[in-house]
Structure 1
Amino acid sequence: MEAKRVLKEVNSNATDQRCATQMIKTPSQMSDLEPQGLSRERKKWSLDDFDIGKPLGKGKFGNVYLARENQQIPLYMTQLSNALKYCHNKKVIHRDIKPENLLVGLTGDVKIADFGWSVHAPSSRRTTLCGTLDYLPPEMIEGRHHDEKVDLWSLGILCYEFLVGNPPFEAETNTETYRRITKVDLHFPSYCTDGAKDCVRKLLQHDPFKRLSLEGILEHPWIAANAKKHPSTSGSSSTPPAPSKPDKS
């Protein structure tokens, strides 16, 4: 099976170039959130740096990685964790980590894109309900304050979808999805390894303060051991330039 590398949906019409260019900002527009590891020789992010095309479609994302025998997942989790560490250190919460908001570079590195729901929150606590239903954490659904730990929950959902091919709490109705999220009604297929399940479970904790930290992800045995087996081919950061002034809503 040919491995696809398109994670971000871009409509196939005359606005493709304009939309994609807006999505991938230049570093000069990103003085407040310049990505770590960006080559100093690279003056701007180019569409040529990414495979951009038709969407994979709902339920197809994880299957791409299943075809790769899940070999890249710990590396991707490492890259995304490092990217979010940088964002959180700058007091930026992404709030919408999901497959559609990731790009895979030509070198195979995952980049976080689309900071449309991101917020610069020096005070940390927010109340706005935002994001994608399957990736919403319990605290958002229950109307409680949230902080950067919502991104930890989203990483757990993403890791599950990497492994299985669909979000863990997906249901036929929104009401049932809400219920499964708030109850953390989590089930794994038999083929998932104990290490992978442990990592996901530690991220998908109802109590935000009990979730595995970004440092904890990097140090998790399943992540640390397997990421070393499949090192990045470029050594670059996982963070493409994000908006210099994220929405403060």
Structure 2
Amino acid sequence: MAADEKLQKHYSYFDQFLRKAKREFEVKFNQDIKQNCSITDFELMDTLGAGSFGMVVLCRDKRNNKPYALKLLEKANIIKTKQLAHTGAEIKLMQIISFPFIIDMHGFFMDNVYVGICMSFANAGDMFTHLKNLKKFEEPLAKFYAAQVLLAFEYLHHLGVVYRDLKPENILMDLQGYLKITDLGFCKKIDNNRTYTLCGTPEYLAPEIILNQGYNKSVDYWSYGVLIFEMTAGFAPFFAKDPMRLYEKIVSGKYQCPPSISKPLKNLLSNILIVDRSKRYGLLKNGIKDIKGHEWFKNTDFDLILAKKIIPSYVPHVDNETDIRYFEPSSKLLSLKKASNDEFAKDFDEMFIHEKS
């Protein structure tokens, strides 16, 4: 089958997939968030990471004996940092969203201390770790990853959701070497409207965010261009120690591609990393097709990638599904806090339904 014919077939198939996903999303989005598990359902194994937010632990579900990543967010910190709305939005979206390249939620619960989010465990670590080890990705591998992120963004945008926090640290890898976009805390359902919130990682911020112009999915395409550049160059297109200088560079839209980047990729980047949104790929009349149909993606079989039928050139080595070599676990499992009363019950009652179902 010719490349153009294969691409047209993909457009037709994926369009049907997206329309169905949109219908299901709209129904579920207006439903209440419900708990479907409890901390006692899990055997806690290792601490994968910890911070001011709480911790992420490797666990095994006693009900099906499968490993998962359990994010335990302290209610006190959620309230203190005014992240209640973000936490609620993340949980609601994770309960609804179902896509191969976006992390999925296995369960959600609350107790007197924690909000627990149980997710699939992508145990090959994050893209940042592998990019740091390999220095940069060769273009075929970067293209393989870029195709997955593009499909994930097309899915989210069709649902009216913007992601707003793309960066290598928020992209996990699974046992097969495929990607899982994680951390949906900054996702927002805006449909065709605009939002003005300043959020994201400095090097990945779009000019319109910095200029407080109001934005939509435009910021995701900009950060997508930054990601492709960083994957193939080994460094971000815009960087400076001083934040104000960094923002000046981003707003100018001027960057320098290293000689190793191919001409087709340079052309694609020049049409994505463009300050004028009326000219930015992904936002024009043909939408995302301007990117999918670009020369750089020539011969990319999006359907085979979507079905995970392509063996990537780089598959991180792991011994088994609970191998955590790509994480920096604590030497011991951190002890969980306990409380006899839930002092934040009223705050969370406004956001969540307490019934286990």
Q: State whether residues 98 and 158 of structure 1, in contact with CA within 8 Å, keep that contact through their aligned partners in structure 2.
A: yes
Q: Which residue of 2 aligns with 1:52?
A: 125
Q: Displacement, 1:45?
A: 5.2
Q: Which residue of 2 aligns with 1:72?
A: 141
Q: Displacement, 1:216?
A: 1.8
Map 1:135-214; keep pairs closer than 5 Å: 135-213=204-282, 214=288
Q: Which residue of 1 aligns with 2:190?
A: 121
SS class of match (1:191):
coil
Q: Which residue of 2 aligns with 1:235?
A: 308
Residues 1:224 and 2:298 are matched in the alignment: yes
Distance 1:52 1:191, change over 3 A: closer
Q: Which amino acid aligns with 1:220?
A: H
Q: Which residue of 2 aligns with 1:21?
A: 70
Q: Distance in 2 between matches of 1:54 and 1:82?
A: 17
Q: State whether residues 101 and 181 of structure 2, in contact with CA within 8 Å, keep that contact through their aligned partners in structure 1.
A: no
Q: State whether residues 74 and 224 of structure 1, in contact with CA within 8 Å, keep that contact through their aligned partners in structure 2.
A: no
Q: Distance in 1 between matches of 2:281 and 2:133?
A: 25
Q: Which residue of 2 aligns with 1:101?
A: 170
The alignment yields a C-alpha RMSD, in angstroms, of 3.3
Q: Which amino acid aligns with 1:186?
A: Y
**Alignment length (residue pairs):** 214
Q: Distance in 2 between matches of 1:103 and 1:82?
A: 15
Q: State whether residues 51 and 105 of structure 1, in contact with CA within 8 Å, keep that contact through their aligned partners in structure 2.
A: yes
SS class of match (2:266):
helix
Q: Which residue of 2 aligns with 1:33?
A: 97
Q: Distance in 1 between matches of 2:158 and 2:127?
A: 34
- Structure 2's unaligned 5+ residue stretches are 1-47, 60-68, 73-90, 108-117, 283-287, 310-357
Q: State whether residues 108 and 232 of structure 1, in contact with CA within 8 Å, keep that contact through their aligned partners in structure 2.
A: no
Q: Distance in 1 between matches of 2:132 and 2:294?
A: 21
Q: Displacement, 1:12?
A: 6.6
Distance 1:136 1:188, change over 3 A: same
Q: Distance in 2 between matches of 1:12 and 1:33?
A: 26
Q: Distance in 2 between matches of 1:186 and 1:37?
A: 29
Q: Displacement, 1:136?
A: 0.4
Q: Which amino acid aligns with 2:97?
A: L
Q: Distance in 1 between matches of 2:131 and 2:128?
A: 9
SS class of match (1:71):
helix
Q: State whether residues 63 and 164 of structure 1, in contact with CA within 8 Å, keep that contact through their aligned partners in structure 2.
A: no
Q: Distance in 2 between matches of 1:54 and 1:139?
A: 26
Q: Distance in 2 between matches of 1:79 and 1:215?
A: 15
Q: Displacement, 1:22?
A: 2.9
Q: Displacement, 1:30?
A: 4.0
SS class of match (1:22):
strand
Higher RCO, Cα 8 Å, sep 6+? 1
Q: Which residue of 2 aligns with 1:134?
A: 203
Distance 1:191 1:36, change over 3 A: closer
Q: State whether residues 12 and 54 of structure 1, in contact with CA within 8 Å, keep that contact through their aligned partners in structure 2.
A: no
Q: Which residue of 1 aligns with 2:328?
A: none
Q: Distance in 2 between matches of 1:215 and 1:96?
A: 23
Distance 1:16 1:37, change over 3 A: closer
SS class of match (2:139):
coil
Q: Which amino acid aligns with 1:120?
A: K
Equivalent in 146, 160, 185 of residue 91 of structure 1: 160
With the length of structure 1 as denominator, give the TM-score of the two structures.
0.74
Q: State whether residues 37 and 235 of structure 1, in contact with CA within 8 Å, keep that contact through their aligned partners in structure 2.
A: no
- Structure 1's unaligned 5+ residue stretches are 1-9, 237-249
Q: State whether residues 265 and 296 of structure 2, in contact with CA within 8 Å, keep that contact through their aligned partners in structure 1.
A: yes
